[in-house]
């Protein structure tokens, strides 16, 4: 049997269960993590948790067993636990890191392993490269996976400390003045019992759906995308909710519907929340956005006289800016968000609460708020994202093709080329395209943005034609 290559992409190591992601691989990755943390500190202590996916609990207990056998003390979350909650548990309990068994928003056939450092944020590339190197040097253990499954670890219940942290971040007194209810869709992920619970605890009416475990996620996957939130749309309209709130499989991403059931792009939510934070919080800090994220962030920053920091795709790049006190908001177009004073990790629960607070404070629909923001910044921003599946040969050739230089692209004059992550071409009218291989799935991502949605869609079509020619 060929030994698997363990590679940490944009957000951890992921693969198809029983094909790329196996118990043998989890044991080897966990042993490599133990070697890494053991080289940094004697007798390290880690938290281990998991989401609601198929075999996630068993993978987590296997990982914990291997980590313990290799010199790490373990605290274990026995119930499915959101990624941001585990991040907070690392910080709150002063642990040396954490392992989370999750494939986040990926389709149901995937599982994965995330490693976070002592700051609670995703491990940076130099750390994951060391873990990959250590894993490559280890043999696969072909014995039964059940040898390492144990259930005698020190248990941890991170709910109380995490909810206390949210109370510092969210103005629940403002949120409680919301004139109506909210609808919540857990998409069968582990946000159930967290977002709905804290809303209920503060007397805020919420109707919840898909809160029970379903390892097939209704056959659509746990991504809170527009096409996957049709049940939430029906609930919002039926209950006349102020908004629909959703989290993904491990509750680190968000999905938002307006009161009429229409999907609000994560990019637009980031711009709205950034503007709201600058209006309502005292810190006049900037924002981080990935190279793939809307330039509406830049427009809001200019409006308020603050700075924008561009990073490669991956939330691991947010942590340093948070620690340095440079940003009020860190965001990615893939529905990732955190704020100043919170975690160096995506938090879909926090994001949904901020949106709900913003609606309660402004007493206006999200689409009305977006139109007002466009008016105040003096322009409109309409992003489009597409995933393109390529044959293996074309996928392998793409990185070389992305090194080409362009004076114009499909008739558009190129004003600037950005190779922060993939190839981004910014045109003279401010519109842009970005093409990059995914760090979590075998697809090519195409991102575009223009002042009109139809123009952004045309740019995406032109990018797709160039990639497949």
The CATH number covering residue 413 comes to: 3.30.310.50
Measured CA to CA, the distance from residue 251 to residue 9 in angstroms comes to: 19
Higher pLDDT, 43 or 5: 43
Q: What is the pLDDT of residue 392?
A: 80
Q: Which CATH number goes with the domain that contains 367?
A: 3.40.120.10
Find out whether 298 and 308 touch, Cβ atoms under 8 Å. yes
Measured CA to CA, the distance from residue 136 to residue 112 in angstroms comes to: 17
Q: How far is CA 247 from CA 186, 252, 304, 328, in A?
A: 6, 7, 30, 22
- Give the confidence band of 112 by pLDDT, cuts at 50, 70, 90: very high
Phi-psi region of 229 (alpha: psi -120 to 50; beta: other; left: phi over 0): alpha
Domain count, the chain: 3
- Give the confidence band of 441 by pLDDT, cuts at 50, 70, 90: low
Spatial strand order in the sheet of 412-418: 382-388, 444-450, 432-437, 423-427, 412-418, 408-409
**Which H or E run includes 75?**
strand 73-76
Among 314, 422, 446, 337, CA closest to 11:
314
Q: What is the pLDDT of residue 119?
A: 95
Angle (nearest 5°) at CA 395 between 408 and 254: 85
At residue 233, φ and ψ (nearest 5 deg) are -55, -45
Q: Is the predicted pLDDT of residue 143 greater than 60, yes or no?
A: no
Q: How far is CA 131 from CA 29, 92, 342, in A?
A: 7, 25, 27
438 belongs to a structural domain: yes
Domain identity same for 404 and 417: yes
Measured CA to CA, the distance from residue 162 to residue 255 in angstroms comes to: 21
277 belongs to a structural domain: yes
Helix, strand, coil percentages in the chain from 3-state DSSP, rounded to 5: 40, 20, 40
Mean pLDDT for the chain? 94
224 belongs to a structural domain: yes
The mean pLDDT value for 255-262 works out to: 98
Angle (nearest 5°) at CA 111 between 48 and 436: 115
Domain identity same for 43 and 146: yes
Structure-token match 């910014």, residue found: 426
**Dihedral over alpha carbons 395, 397, 401, 403 (to 10 degrees):** 100
The mean pLDDT value for 427-444 works out to: 87
5 belongs to a structural domain: no
Contacts of 304 (CB under 8 A, 6+ apart): 275, 278, 284
Domain identity same for 174 and 277: yes
Domain identity same for 362 and 422: no
Q: What is the pLDDT of residue 443?
A: 83
- Give the confidence band of 171 by pLDDT, cuts at 50, 70, 90: very high
Domain identity same for 25 and 128: yes
Q: What is the pLDDT of residue 394?
A: 80
Find out whether 8 and 130 touch, Cβ atoms under 8 Å. no
179 belongs to a structural domain: yes
Cα-only R_g, the chain: 22
Q: Give the number of other CB atoms < 10 A from CB of residue 249.
A: 34
Which tens digits make up the pLDDT trace of 357-393? Answer: 999 999 999 999 999 999 999 999 999 999 998 888 8
- Give the confidence band of 146 by pLDDT, cuts at 50, 70, 90: low
Which tens digits make up the pLDDT trace of 191-203? Answer: 999 999 999 999 9
Among 165, 340, 351, 109, CA closest to 252:
351
Which tens digits make up the pLDDT trace of 290-305? Answer: 999 999 999 999 999 9
Domain identity same for 196 and 231: yes
Domain identity same for 246 and 364: yes
Phi-psi region of 71 (alpha: psi -120 to 50; beta: other; left: phi over 0): left
Domain extent, residue 214, equals: 161-377
Burial bucket for residue 361 (CB in 10 Å: 0-12, 13-18, 19+): middle
The mean pLDDT value for 160-165 works out to: 98
The mean pLDDT value for 100-116 works out to: 96
Q: Is the pTM of this model over 0.85?
A: yes
Measured CA to CA, the distance from residue 125 to residue 117 in angstroms comes to: 12
Domain identity same for 146 and 165: no
Q: What is the pLDDT of residue 67?
A: 96
Which of 157, 191, 210 is the last residue in one of the domains?
A: 157
Q: What is the share, in percent, of the chain residues with pLDDT greater than 90? A: 87
360 belongs to a structural domain: yes
Which tens digits make up the pLDDT trace of 60-98? Answer: 999 999 999 999 999 999 999 999 999 999 999 999 999
215 belongs to a structural domain: yes
Domain identity same for 251 and 290: yes
Measured CA to CA, the distance from residue 131 to residue 95 in angstroms comes to: 19
Angle (nearest 5°) at CA 341 between 338 and 347: 25
Q: Is the predicted pLDDT of residue 108 greater than 70, yes or no?
A: yes
| Beta strands in 168-285, from DSSP E residues, in sequence order | 182-185, 206-209, 244-247, 254-257, 263-264
Among 213, 211, 163, CA closest to 183:
211
Angle (nearest 5°) at CA 270 between 110 and 116: 45
Q: Report the chain's terminal Cα–Cα distance, integer Å.
A: 37
Which tens digits make up the pLDDT trace of 232-245? Answer: 999 999 999 999 99
Which of 129, 157, 185 is the last residue in one of the domains?
A: 157
Q: What is the pLDDT of residue 11?
A: 76
Q: Is the predicted pLDDT of residue 279 greater than 90, yes or no?
A: yes
Q: What is the pLDDT of residue 139?
A: 85
Among 111, 131, 171, 147, CA closest to 34:
131
Q: What is the pLDDT of residue 29?
A: 96
Q: How far is CA 50 from CA 29, 173, 178, 313, 367, in A?
A: 15, 32, 33, 24, 36
7 belongs to a structural domain: no
Domain identity same for 117 and 226: no
Measured CA to CA, the distance from residue 32 to residue 29 in angstroms comes to: 5
Which tens digits make up the pLDDT trace of 315-326? Answer: 889 989 999 999
Q: What is the pLDDT of residue 440?
A: 61
Domain identity same for 179 and 134: no
Domain identity same for 372 and 252: yes
Which of 89, 123, 157 is the last residue in one of the domains?
A: 157
Contacts of 62 (CB under 8 A, 6+ apart): 23, 26, 27, 30, 145, 148, 149
């Amino acid at each position: 049997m060929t030994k698997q290559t363990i590679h940490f992409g944009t957000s951890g190591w992921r693969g198809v269960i029983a094909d790329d992601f196996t118990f043998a691989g989890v044991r080897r990755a966990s042993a490599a993590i133990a070697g890494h943390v053991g080289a940094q500190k004697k007798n390290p202590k880690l938290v281990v948790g998991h989401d609601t996916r198929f075999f996630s609990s068993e993978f987590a207990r296997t990982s914990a067993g291997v980590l313990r056998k290799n010199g790490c003390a373990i605290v274990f979350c026995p119930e499915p636990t959101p990624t941001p909650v585990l991040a907070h548990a690392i910080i709150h309990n002063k642990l040396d890191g954490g392992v989370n068994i999750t494939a986040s928003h990926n389709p149901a056939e995937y599982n994965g392993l995330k490693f976070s450092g002592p700051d609670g944020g995703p491990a940076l590339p130099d750390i994951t490269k060391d873990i990959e190197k250590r894993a490559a040097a280890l043999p696969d253990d072909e014995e039964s996976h059940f040898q390492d499954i144990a259930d005698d670890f020190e248990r941890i219940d991170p709910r109380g400390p995490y909810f206390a942290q949210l109370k510092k971040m969210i103005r629940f007194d403002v949120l409680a003045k919301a004139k109506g209810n909210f609808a919540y869709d857990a998409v069968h992920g582990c946000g159930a019992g967290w977002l709905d619970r804290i809303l209920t605890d503060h007397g805020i009416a919420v109707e919840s759906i898909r809160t029970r475990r379903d390892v097939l996620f209704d056959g659509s996957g746990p991504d809170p995308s527009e096409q996957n939130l049709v049940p939430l749309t029906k609930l919002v309209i039926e209950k006349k909710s102020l908004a629909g709130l959703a989290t993904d499989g491990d509750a680190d991403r968000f999905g938002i519907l307006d009161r009429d059931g229409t999907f609000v792009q994560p990019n637009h939510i980031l711009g709205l929340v950034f503007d709201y934070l600058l209006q309502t919080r005292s810190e006049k800090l900037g924002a981080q956005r990935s190279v793939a994220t809307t330039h509406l962030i830049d427009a809001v920053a200019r409006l308020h006289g603050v700075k924008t920091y561009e990073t490669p795709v991956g939330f691991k790049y947010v942590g340093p800016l948070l620690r340095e006190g440079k940003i009020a908001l860190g965001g990615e177009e893939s529905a990732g968000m955190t704020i100043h004073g919170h975690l160096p990790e995506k938090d879909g629960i926090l994001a949904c609460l901020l949106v709900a607070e913003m609606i309660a404070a402004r007493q206006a629909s999200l689409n009305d708020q977006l139109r007002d923001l466009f008016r105040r910044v003096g322009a409109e921003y309409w992003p489009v994202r597409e995933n393109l599946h390529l044959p293996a040969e074309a996928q392998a050739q793409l990185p070389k093709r992305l090194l080409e230089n362009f004076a114009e692209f499909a008739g558009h004059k190129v004003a600037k080329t950005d190779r922060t992550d993939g190839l981004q071409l910014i045109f003279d009218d401010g519109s842009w395209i970005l093409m990059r291989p995914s760090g979590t799935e075998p697809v090519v991502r195409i991102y575009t943005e223009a002042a009109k949605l139809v123009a952004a869609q045309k740019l995406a079509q032109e990018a797709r034609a160039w990639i497949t020619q």
